[in-house]
Amino acid sequence: MQRALAGHQASTTALADVDFTTFDTAELLAIQSEREQRARTHALIDHRIQAALMAQATPHEIGGKSWIDVLATRMRISRKEASRRVAAATELAPRYTVGGEVLDPELPACAQALLDGTISADHIAIISDTVKKVASYVNATELAEVEVDLVAAATRETPETLKAGAEKLLFLLNQDGDSPDLAAHRRGLRLGRQDADGYVHVEGWLDPETAAYVATINSVWARPGINNPDDPHPIHNPTPNPLDTPNTDDTADTAAPAAAAPDAADSVAADHQPESDASQQEREHAQAEAAARDTRTQPQRNHDALKVALRELLMSKRLGRHGGLPVTVVVSTTLSELESAAGIAITGSGIRMPMKDLIRLASHSFHYLTIYKHHTAEPLYMARTKRLATKAQRLLLYDRDRGCTRPGCTAAADHCQVHHAKTDWQHGGQTDAPDLGLSCGPDNRLVGLGWTTSVDPDTGRIRWYPPPLMNTGQDTVNHHFRPEELLAPPDAADDG
């Protein structure tokens, strides 16, 4: 193995020193094709290595939450790529029984074609997905034939063409389609990652009930002139609320019962006086002027209406508690940024928020204010009297850590637990604010798998130290929620 790796390194080094401009077009294309074929073969070798590793050890023995976690940490690759490699090792590498017997891969035809370098990872992803779906309609022998046929097509066609053929195959096997219950099979809402401009792409399907709710809200709150954030004199919601103001017919219908209960009638009359003609004309005129000023598109008005509806729900205080805090938006910023109305704040869910948006949000908010180096009425030091962090401690950690403190983890503060970072609770740790840190549930449990944590005495940041098999010299501080530190010199970034 060492001789093979050394030879591979020598050939790679030699190729890296080649001046490829000395080759003509045909030669470059031939070299490129051969390199692609070799890369596919090398990928299968990597899958076999991963499969052998998974057969003789567990992620917990190494110090990881899962094989995805082990690969992402050791190789410094994305969790998506790590997930792809683990799945590929399961499908394309030999399988091993408890007794040591070697079995064929789950997709033997794909494995052989990848070894030959005739198909790519994109081809295999399409074949794998198709085989899983076809398994519901055919027996094992027919399923193997489907794989062989698709592999044969993949050696001649692009992934796009192969996908079209696979979709036609699935249609022929299932011409009646799946259950007509779209709400059960297609409903879902997906929030993408936040772009550099701060916007988040949303996609998904709404079931009929949810669509009815959204459409009803849009029919009122997304009208021109209503809830326009750019209007200097905005009309936030229709006024008066038609549900609170009975019309003349409603008044006539309830007149007789009200006479039998004069006190109740007086109360209704006081709270729900019919709107006068002059007031109604004035309101309609104001809404017409607001509509004339409104330059938003319908999708923009729909967006603003949804924002107002969600804000009203948060302000209702009916969402309970999560992580020891009322369900609300927790935002972290600095006093200088707030005073200058410039900069970027961070929410507990990891969303970056421009200062102008934070100021607008603050006009509707119930505030929690954390001021350092000053005393507050809420305790931050609980020692051994309390294991769970207090509300004040959680808010402080929301601001200091912003999310899970384990390097490489992207879980925002809303999805984290409070971890006794200086000394674990079971070993005498104290519930004092400086000794605590945020960590997601899976990472919190890594402490029992060989990981250790400490609190940096100079910065207060949490450091994570991996067990030997997970230690590749990686950083011990998570910079994901403070990416600006990556732009600083290594020593300065390490200091937080």
Asked if residue 5 is part of any domain, the answer here is no
Q: 139 forms bridges with which residues in the sheet?
A: none
| Per-residue pLDDT, 41 | 95
Confidence of residue 125 (pLDDT cuts 50, 70, 90): very high
What's the average model confidence in pLDDT over 401-407?
91
Residue 468 has pLDDT above 50, yes or no: yes
Per the structure, the complete domain to which residue 296 belongs is given by: 209-245+285-316
* Same-domain check for residues 461 and 328: no
Residue 373 has pLDDT above 70, yes or no: no
* Same-domain check for residues 97 and 230: no
* Same-domain check for residues 427 and 290: no
Asked if residue 370 is part of any domain, the answer here is no
Of residues 149 and 308, the one with the higher pLDDT is 149
What's the average model confidence in pLDDT over 102-113?
94
What's the average model confidence in pLDDT over 464-483?
89
Lowest average pLDDT, out of 48-52, 61-65, 314-318, goes to 314-318
* Same-domain check for residues 335 and 308: no
Q: How far apart are CA 485 and CA 402, in angstroms?
A: 14
C-alpha separations of 479 from 254, 397, 401, 476 in Å: 65, 15, 10, 9
* Same-domain check for residues 155 and 37: yes
C-alpha separations of 333 from 341, 373, 396, 406 in Å: 11, 16, 12, 22
Confidence of residue 488 (pLDDT cuts 50, 70, 90): low
| Per-residue pLDDT, 378 | 47
What would the pLDDT profile of 134-145 be if each residue is shown by its tens digit? 998 889 999 999
| Per-residue pLDDT, 97 | 82
Residue 253 has pLDDT above 70, yes or no: no
Lowest average pLDDT, out of 37-46, 107-116, 162-171, goes to 162-171
Asked if residue 433 is part of any domain, the answer here is yes
Of residues 473 and 264, the one with the higher pLDDT is 473
Task: List, in order, residues 6 or more apart from 190 with CB less than 8 Å away.
Answer: 202, 203, 204
Of residues 286 and 118, the one with the higher pLDDT is 118
C-alpha separations of 213 from 59, 76, 241, 316, 376 in Å: 45, 44, 18, 18, 43
| Per-residue pLDDT, 341 | 64
Lowest average pLDDT, out of 190-204, 209-223, 444-458, goes to 209-223
What's the average model confidence in pLDDT over 262-290?
60
| Per-residue pLDDT, 246 | 46
| Per-residue pLDDT, 266 | 39
What's the average model confidence in pLDDT over 336-350?
69
| Per-residue pLDDT, 54 | 94
Confidence of residue 254 (pLDDT cuts 50, 70, 90): very low
Lowest average pLDDT, out of 184-193, 219-228, 461-470, goes to 184-193
Joined together, the tokens standing for residue 489 give 């010199």
What's the average model confidence in pLDDT over 257-271?
37
What would the pLDDT profile of 75-101 be if each residue is shown by its tens digit? 999 999 999 999 999 999 999 887 778
Percent of the chain residues past pLDDT 70, beyond the cut:
76
| Per-residue pLDDT, 40 | 95
Q: What values do phi and psi take at 465, rounded to 5?
A: -115, 120
* Same-domain check for residues 90 and 222: no
Burial of 335 (0-12, 13-18, 19+ CB in 10 A): exposed
* Same-domain check for residues 221 and 137: no
Lowest average pLDDT, out of 29-33, 118-122, 309-313, 490-494, goes to 490-494
DSSP calls for 383-433:
TTS-SSPPHHHHHHHHHHT-B--STT---BGGGEEEEE-SS-GGGT---BG
Asked if residue 52 is part of any domain, the answer here is yes
| Per-residue pLDDT, 168 | 84
Q: 403 forms bridges with which residues in the sheet?
A: 412
What would the pLDDT profile of 62-77 be if each residue is shown by its tens digit? 999 999 999 999 999 9
* Same-domain check for residues 343 and 416: no
* Same-domain check for residues 65 and 107: yes
Q: How far apart are CA 486 and CA 466, in angstroms?
A: 21
Residue 262 has pLDDT above 60, yes or no: no
CB burial of 92-115 (b: ≥16 within 10 Å; e: otherwise) equals: bbbbeeeeeeeeebbbbbbbbbbb
Q: For residue 6, give the DSSP letter.
A: H
What's the average model confidence in pLDDT over 3-22?
94
Asked if residue 375 is part of any domain, the answer here is no
Residue 421 has pLDDT above 60, yes or no: yes
| Per-residue pLDDT, 204 | 84
* Same-domain check for residues 31 and 150: yes
Asked if residue 11 is part of any domain, the answer here is no
Q: Which of 395, 396, 415, 394 is nearest to 404 (CA)?
A: 415
Per the structure, the count of domains in the chain is: 4
pTM equals 0.65
Asked if residue 188 is part of any domain, the answer here is no
* Same-domain check for residues 153 and 213: no
Asked if residue 250 is part of any domain, the answer here is no
* Same-domain check for residues 30 and 164: yes
Of residues 473 and 364, the one with the higher pLDDT is 473
Joined together, the tokens standing for residue 141 give 């022998």
**What is the overall mean pLDDT for the chain?**
79
